[in-house]
Amino acid sequence: MIAKGFIFAALITLLSIIKPITYRSVAQNYKLTFSSLFTSVWTGVFIILSFPFMKDSFFDALPAIMASPVLILYAASKGIVTWYSIRVSQAVNRQSTSSVVFFPFISLALASFLLNVFLGETLNLLQLSTILLLGILGFGFWFFGIVRKLSADWKKCFLIAIILNALCPIIDHITIRQIGWYTYFIISNITTFIFCFYKGASLSDIKKSFTSSDVFKAGFFNTLREIVVLSSSVAILPVSLVNFSIRLAAPIVMVFSAIKYKESTVKNQLIFGVLALLAAIPIILFK
């Protein structure tokens, strides 16, 4: 069982490394808004594949939705936030893949702080210290990391991405406890998909999600990652270790970006990546 858990944890980390790299190719070759569409399309594939195993979870949530339809609006708001989050994340990824895996650490700290202040989520002194440390690392990455070399517009996208990614767990916190994550996931993804067309997507873009080789690779590996994360969370690994396995990819991607894309130096990327991972452990593992 331990060996099986290790294999799944390693696979989650590997797929989390592949995701930003394959998404970078899409960011550089297509409109930024296209990434929200192909992600929602491939997420739909994941939902279809997983529904036979998760349908009880979906139907169990329906009474809560019938009793409080406003929950649909909460889940739908996550879908809209997701559309914008993917869009600005891809704007960041177009210039710096290392930054797109680093800013979620800052978002994690910001979300934890806001949940503590406004929604009563208890944090101990170590976790509060973690938030402060991640904030300091964020400022350091801004002034001494790859961010300092990039344009003002890109820096604006970096900041917006931090805020949007911090909003997601706050909406999760409010909604998942009432309707469960799977039903919430379905509603939010349907909303993202519909919103794509409001923002100018076309039916040909759906076809492109499967016929374009670089888009297919990005969608396929992201869907495979979701399947492995789901199966691991349900029966193999604690959720905290699943989250840690995802975050473990960040310093590896940052070092890869330094070598492949000449983003800062290996030493600089390794320092920020490892420190952010270590600093986030009290929030990731001990919540």
- Rounded Cα distance between 138 and 70, Å, is 35
| DSSP assigned state of 210 | H
- Rounded Cα distance between 73 and 64, Å, is 13
| DSSP assigned state of 200 | T
Q: Which domain holds residue 88?
A: 2-285
Higher pLDDT, 123 or 76: 76
pLDDT at 31 over 70: yes
Q: Of the spans 152-156, 174-178, 225-229, 252-256, which averages the highest pLDDT?
A: 252-256
**140 CB burial (10 A radius; 0-12, 13-18, 19+):** middle
Length of the chain: 287
**186 CB burial (10 A radius; 0-12, 13-18, 19+):** buried
Total count of domains within the chain = 1
> pLDDT (tens digit, 9 = 90+) per residue, 166-212?
999 899 988 998 999 899 999 999 999 999 999 999 999 999 999 99
Query: What DSSP string describes 135-196?
Result: HHHHHHHHHHSGGGGS-HHHHHHHHHHHHHHHHHHHHHHHHHHHH-HHHHHHHHHHHHHHHH
Kindly provide the b/e burial profile for residues 95-117, where b requires at least 16 CB atoms within 10 angstroms of the residue's own CB: bbbbbbbbbbbbbbbbbbbbbee
- Rounded Cα distance between 130 and 231, Å, is 29
Average pLDDT on 219-248 reads 86
The pLDDT, as a whole number, for residue 1 is 57
- Rounded Cα distance between 287 and 284, Å, is 6
| Segment among 58-62, 146-150, 214-218, 270-274 with least mean pLDDT | 146-150
Average pLDDT on 18-38 reads 96
